[in-house]
Amino acid sequence: MTLKHLLMTLYTFAALGAWAQPNGQRIAIISDIHLLSPQLVTPGTAIDNADQHEIKMMALSDDIMEAICDSLIAAKPSLVLITGDLTHNGELLSHKRVAQHLNRLRQHGIASLIIPGNHDINNPYAMRFDGDDTHPTPTVTRAEFAQIYHDYGYGDDSQRDTASLSYCCEPINGLVVLGIDTNLDEQNRLKSRGDSVNTYHNAGAIKPSTLDWAVQQAQLATSQGKLVVAMMHHHLIPHFDMEERFLSNYIVQDNSHAAERLLQAGVHLVFTGHLHVTDAARALNTTDHNGIVEMATGSAITYPFAMRIAQLSIDKRQMSIDTHWVTSTPQCPHLRELGRQRVTQATPHIANLISNKLWDKMSGRVQQMKYLLEADGGTVNLPQSASQTSDLMLRHLSEVLTRTLLAVVEGNEQEKQPEDIVAQGKQSVKALIQEVAPQQADNLWNFFNQDVYPKLEPLVRSLLEDRNGVNTTHESRTNDLRLIVDL
């Protein structure tokens, strides 16, 4: 037996023991596998440079998917749901490789259902990595996508929406899965197809006619005494307060209206992805049965490499959902450790993104602030560019940003010493103020502590304490990793 086979055997038995359940049927949920076909990669600086700037373990995506499939074959769930972003950037060969993995599961009696993500269709950035260079490679149309995944949601056993890639089917007797297409890839423009520019949309929306169709399908199923579970790529429910404002591209437009209509139609559980966080959120009601719960699953190729296992009760009235982690693969026995390093090393990149976004909006105000502070006397060291802003943030906020990022991607943030993170964050801001305006530091700190932070605190508490609707009558807290949902 080779070392690779030994490692895989040990991995498979570990997964089998961890997922063994005595009753009911099991459903595995994974998301954002972002698979890049090995056929599109020739080793060289092109793939190395692209991979090292990603939190995702892009170069290992196929290896990770192979390990996931080995574990699923050992555990033998009845069904696998994949909530979008199947490919790196919608490459035709990557889609065909994903279909090969799903076909392998199918040959072992495991059905799979998929839904597209924003990366998957009409993607102008589909490319191959040839040594030191990259070259365009074909992406897929919506029709080609449905053809490739005919056996995984788009076949004759499904009811199809004519306006989108949404569908409805009954893979388990008495349980209906409603796959809702939330992507805007029809608005993408591709030079390779004759357009003058390349454009790409990662935001999400449900077409009005598609929402009507989905509600009708759910109502029909519930009228027949069946249970309905939905899956889509973008969030339907905010996973932190003001997500619609700060991360609008990650939640469907007019989400409250869509969630209310689906809930009224009998949908109490939705599986999503997109944001690469393993998180759960509840909306519209704080009780299990009357509310709607969304389980967002993190990227399968990004630390902490999450997948969900949902245990359907025998009477099909409840789902017990647990979270498992891919810790190693044959090619990467220390996957989890390397993935965590990727996250911790991402802080400078995140600081640059924040700085560039803030500088575009705040550069004028920074100059006004500099003038006002200098008028009061003393030294003022405000940054004069986005790069200086990034450097300032990293000097004072690097550690607390990393702690916050790890807490958010791992889930159950309230278990990660949120009070300590908040205290560290405040002290870091205080030190930053001291550097920027040493003579006015006390006054500026008092202003931040008394006037600025109280306005930010609900958002901070929502993020770090897993709370939605902070300080409102409908405030709720939901366990991200283990949850029982009434259907």
| pLDDT one-digit tens code per residue, 402-436 | 999 999 999 999 899 999 999 999 999 999 999 99
Other CB atoms within 10 A of residue 253 CB: 15
Where do the domains of the chain lie?
Answer: 3-335, 347-468
Length of the chain: 487
307: tokens are 């997948």
The pLDDT tens digits of the residues spanning 76-129 come to 999 999 999 999 999 999 999 999 999 999 999 999 999 999 999 999 999 999
Q: Tokens 């008495």: give the residue.
A: 174
pLDDT over threshold 90, residue 176: yes
Protein fold of 3-335:
Purple Acid Phosphatase; chain A, domain 2 (3.60.21)
Distance CA 391, CA 432 (A): 11
Q: Look at residue 285 in the predicted model and tell me its pLDDT.
A: 62
Q: Show the tokens assigned to 247.
A: 């991360």
pLDDT per position as a tens digit, 129-157:
999 999 999 999 999 999 999 999 999 99
Distance CA 217, CA 84 (A): 21
With cut-offs at 50, 70 and 90, classify the pLDDT of residue 356: confident
- The phi and psi torsions of 440 (rounded to 5 degrees) equal -100, 15
Residue-wise pLDDT for 198-219, tens only, equals 999 999 999 999 999 999 999 9
Residue in the structure block whose two tokens are 């007019």:
254
Which amino acid, 284?
L
Task: Assess whether pLDDT exceeds 50 at residue 173.
Answer: yes
What is the pTM (predicted TM-score) of this model? 0.91
- Reported for 207-213, long-range contacts at CB under 8 A and 24+ positions apart, including other chains, are 207/163, 207/164, 209/161, 209/163, 210/161, 210/163, 210/164, 210/166, 210/180, 210/181, 211/258, 211/261, 213/161, 213/163, 213/166
Is residue 21 predicted with pLDDT exceeding 60? no
- Give the Cα separation of 128 and 39 in Å (integer): 8
Could you count the other beta carbons within 10 Å of the beta carbon of residue 353?
A: 13
Q: For tokens 């990650």, what's the residue?
A: 250
